Structure 1
Amino acid sequence: MTNRVDIIQELTDLDKKHFFHPTSPIKQQQEQGPAFIFTEGKGIYLYDMAGNKMIDGMSSLWNVNVGHGREEIGKAAMEQMSKLAYSSCFATFSNEPAIRLAAKLAQVAPGDLSATFFTSGGSEANDTAYKLARHYWILKGKPNRKKIISRSQSYHGVAMGSTSATGLKAFRDFTNSLAPDFLYVDHFSTKSLREAIEAEGPDTIAAFIAEPVQGAGGVHVAPENYFQEVRRICDEYGILFITDEVITGFGRTGKYFGIEHYGVAPDMMCFAKGVSSGYAQLGGVMISSRIYEEFAELSNGTLLHGYTYSGHPTACAVALKNLEIIEQENLIENAELMGQELLKGFQWLQEERKIIGKVKGLGLMAGIEFVKDQNTKSSFSAPVSPAVVTEAAKRGLICRSVVLDGQDILVFSPPLTISKEEIAKIIEILNDSIKAIEVNVSESFAAK
């Protein structure tokens, strides 16, 4: 009989030969195969075929908000699949889960966001937002309003438009032909935004897009009053304000949506990830009631934009059950409280481990910066965070490093179900992992 070791080897060989992994080192993939072959998830934990139990400190990709192994979500998917797994939403065809989810989103969304265009994920949601913004201005008789402004350190996805909007240069350098009419301003400077608008001409700008908290770019929390000033600038120049809530939505920051921390509402809002907690592929764009009404008034033909899986019945049924769990179990409130615990733990680490610089976060989005000197904030010649990720994985913790654009940051976004005791375990593992790295760093400098 084939044993587990043989199965792991078989799958590793097949993976190396046939599975082209996303956002992974290509040579490492082909030479070493998968780091883990996961088989099961329960709560904040993932289990792999080799018998490892791992704390999923990233909610996989910032998205498993309600935790792994939710049988009630699986049951909701099965029931919907048994009745109507899929049907098209083109030509005004519809289905009950999509209708009810759109209505639910209108109920919980900030401001007067009232209508949802569904996609399969975050990159599609961002691309859709840019196209809808530009089409809106065409309908308004202002076709020159086509430029999209985003921020440095931002991440908006990997489709062509969303890649072009991403402020992290390494992602744009991946291709040699970006989409035109995308501009970038300093991520924390409203002065930079105003100067770009004036330089380009307000009548050429369609929209400004921002993440309420920048996630993949290193967990950057905006300064106080930043978004209030952004809202004023967009109103002053008649520019649409789009928030990218793909990571920050559905409780991640301790509010239903991240922008709620800042007391303003966008004209359009992109979402994905936490809407279904990763149990099904789903995203979307919400638009304000004013813009939705203008689309209806000014359009006289078919909206020539849509995805095969827009309004997918099973995905929408999964999302409805997911949102029900988030609300019934008070996971948004737990994210706020446990986020405070996580930040306290990081602050303790900052005192204990001398290579930690800034610690930051909002809700259950948090980051640790590594520095050579806490006083001068000077950086190491080579980033430290990837080595910490490796050490943490040895001890049963999955986290993620950000080394793009000269940064050296460790980022976390555990499931919103996490407990105080589980956070304490994360801090313990991190302390041991960073301590091991400090020894290696010290020996390296001593050798020089």
Structure 2
Amino acid sequence: MTKIEISVEELRDLDKKHFFHPTSPLQQQQEQGAAFVFTEGKGIYLHDITGKRVIDGMSSLWNVNVGHGREELGKVAMEQMSKLAFSSSFATFSNEPAIRLAAKLAQIAPGDLSATFFTSGGSEANDTAYKLVRHYWLLKGQSERKKIISRTKSYHGVSMGATSATGLKAFRDFTSSLAPDFLYVDHFSSESLRALIEAEGPETIAAFIAEPVQGAGGVHVAPENYFKEVQEICDDYDILFITDEVITGFGRTGRYFAMEHYGVSPDMMCFAKGVTSGYAQLGGVMISEKIYKEFTQLSVGTLLHGYTYSGHPMACAVALKNLEIIEQEHLIENAEKRGQELLAGLEWTQKERKIIGKVKGLGLMCGIEIVKDKQTGEGFETPLSPSIVTEAAKQGLICRSVVLDGQDIVVFSPPLSITKEEIANLIHILNESIRVVETSALQNHLSNI
């Protein structure tokens, strides 16, 4: 089949007319068109249709852990698709890549997480976790245990259950009807968790879910001992503890899984994104050996939950190769080292620029707060992080703005393959981008006094 040549303008027009973009300002897309039309990626870089090259400072959506353009992943996908592209996992049917990946995950996961329920992505993984914990309590004869507690500033996805669990209010306000029995506690307070459990009644709580580091909510790293306290509380009240490692898993924070930093082992763990580095759609929920045994012993008949692409052979084959690359190229160790350099670079930028408040992060997952007053932490009336992101893109760096729940934060999450020199270049572009926005903002501020 001959490929029909199409101009940049024609592509942009088709994009406006036919591509309903996710998580995008739709009016802006219609007025200005796509910010980038990417055509190629290599390492930490993306190239758009005009020839512009930018640093992918977000690993696209926190997920291209091994970097762009890994031909070995494409080769594995082609080989698996040529042999067995798809087969169902329903009715106990199975395939070798799914079996091997489930075994590999059991080997590398924290604690006694030993069995995996595969999904197509992170939102499905979260919804699956909520359904499984509620079904678990039904099997145990405790049907009143159905409430799920999550944290403020949390993000767990956009399917109905995942949206309802998300602590960022703007996502919940998007729909007129949320799923019931979701509750929220302060994201840094274990005391508030215990107080809510007591107020609601422990016998009504099915599970507590938390991201080890809150990503889309602004890169919030929990206080020391927070998760140990949380696990103790869950144990005290016989409540299941779920960790959402969709963003933080597979080396992002300098450990295979971020909960390893805290010495805590959950009952269930959601994952996606970095398991394939975005080269194929895959996610899942890992379950502890104890709970999996109870499921198999107590279940009667068919488990009525599953997705068409659960255990997709090609996606699982890509995941296995992706994990091999992460290990062979020591990308987890690199994430820890480069993460320290990124944090140091951001702290240097903080000293150089007047509008940077707190700097925070863990591994290659960092953020900076934008403030008008460093002493008080007071922010600008109109958030500046979107302008910084726009200016950075002009200068060759993709990063992300978080303005939800009154925040004004710029976040970064580059591929784990990034080098020391590339970190330095990222910091240089960022500093210059903030300088441009800062100069304009301060001039406007002075003119209004």
1:252 alignment counterpart: 252
CA separation in 1, counterparts of 2:253 and 2:148? 26
1:34 alignment counterpart: 34
Per-residue Cα deviation, 1:358-377 (whole angstroms, up to 9, x for no partner): 00000000000011011111
Given the alignment of the two structures, is residue 371 of structure 1 paired with residue 371 of structure 2, yes or no? Answer: yes
Cα distance change, pair 436–116 in 1 and its aligned pair in 2 (3 A): same
Is the Cα contact below 8 Å between 1:365 and 1:413 reproduced in 2?
yes
TM-score (norm. length: structure 1): 0.99
CA separation in 2, counterparts of 1:223 and 1:447? 40
* Partner amino acid, structure 1, of 2:65: N
1:120 Cα offset (Å): 0.1
1:290 alignment counterpart: 290
Where do 1:1-400 residues align within 5 Å?
7-400=7-400
1:3 Cα offset (Å): 12
* Partner amino acid, structure 2, of 1:100: R
- Report which stretch shifted further, 369-378 or 98-107: 369-378
CA separation in 1, counterparts of 2:95 and 2:414? 33
TM-score (norm. length: structure 2): 0.98
* Partner amino acid, structure 2, of 1:247: I
1:433 alignment counterpart: 433
* Partner amino acid, structure 2, of 1:423: I
CA separation in 2, counterparts of 1:337 and 1:227? 24
Per-residue Cα deviation, 1:364-410 (whole angstroms, up to 9, x for no partner): 00000011011111111110100000110010000000000000000
* Partner amino acid, structure 2, of 1:397: L
Cα distance change, pair 107–3 in 1 and its aligned pair in 2 (3 A): closer
- Report which stretch shifted further, 6-15 or 319-328: 6-15
Q: When the two structures are aligned, how many residues end up with a matched partner?
A: 446
Match of 1:263, SS state, is coil
Per-residue Cα deviation, 1:304-325 (whole angstroms, up to 9, x for no partner): 0000000000000000000000
CA separation in 2, counterparts of 1:432 and 1:258? 32
CA separation in 1, counterparts of 2:13 and 2:418? 35
CA separation in 2, counterparts of 1:421 and 1:158? 36
Deviant stretches of 4+, over 4 Å: none
Match of 1:316, SS state, is helix
CA separation in 1, counterparts of 2:16 and 2:192? 46
Is the Cα contact below 8 Å between 1:16 and 1:32 reproduced in 2?
no
CA separation in 2, counterparts of 1:389 and 1:79? 39
1:446 Cα offset (Å): 2.1
Where do 1:389-428 residues align within 5 Å?
389-428=389-428
CA separation in 1, counterparts of 2:319 and 2:393? 31
1:30 Cα offset (Å): 1.7
* Partner amino acid, structure 1, of 2:204: T
Match of 2:286, SS state, is strand
